[in-house]
Amino acid sequence: RYGAWPRSGEIDLMENVGWEPGVIRASVHTEKNHRRRGNHNRRVSGVRDAHDAFHVYACEWAPDELRFFVDDRKFYTYKNERKGPEQWP
């Protein structure tokens, strides 16, 4: 809607990389904050058995914030600062 990445935003509900098997990340990329600038918004949650067991990952998207969960446990809240699409995906 607003152009190519990162202008249109991106929400990563769950990311896991092989060198950190017990670490789950949630990220919010926007025009203002993204990995190419090295300032993207993300939080980490420890999930020891992420590679061995089933888990439920969720994101609740409300007008004022995004809330991220692992197994019904909230570990990250991203607030809408009302600065438009540069800050809100």
Cis peptide before 89 (omega within 30 of 0): no
Q: How far apart are CA 76 and CA 43, in angstroms?
A: 6
Question: Is residue 86 annotated as part of the catalytic site, yes or no?
Answer: no
The one catalytic residue among 15, 60, 65, 81:
15
Question: Is residue 60 annotated as part of the catalytic site, yes or no?
Answer: no
Which H, E and C letters describe 64-86, residue by residue?
A: CEEEEEECCEEEEEEECCCCCCC
Which residue has tokens 């007008």? 63
Enumerate the active-site residues.
Answer: 10, 15
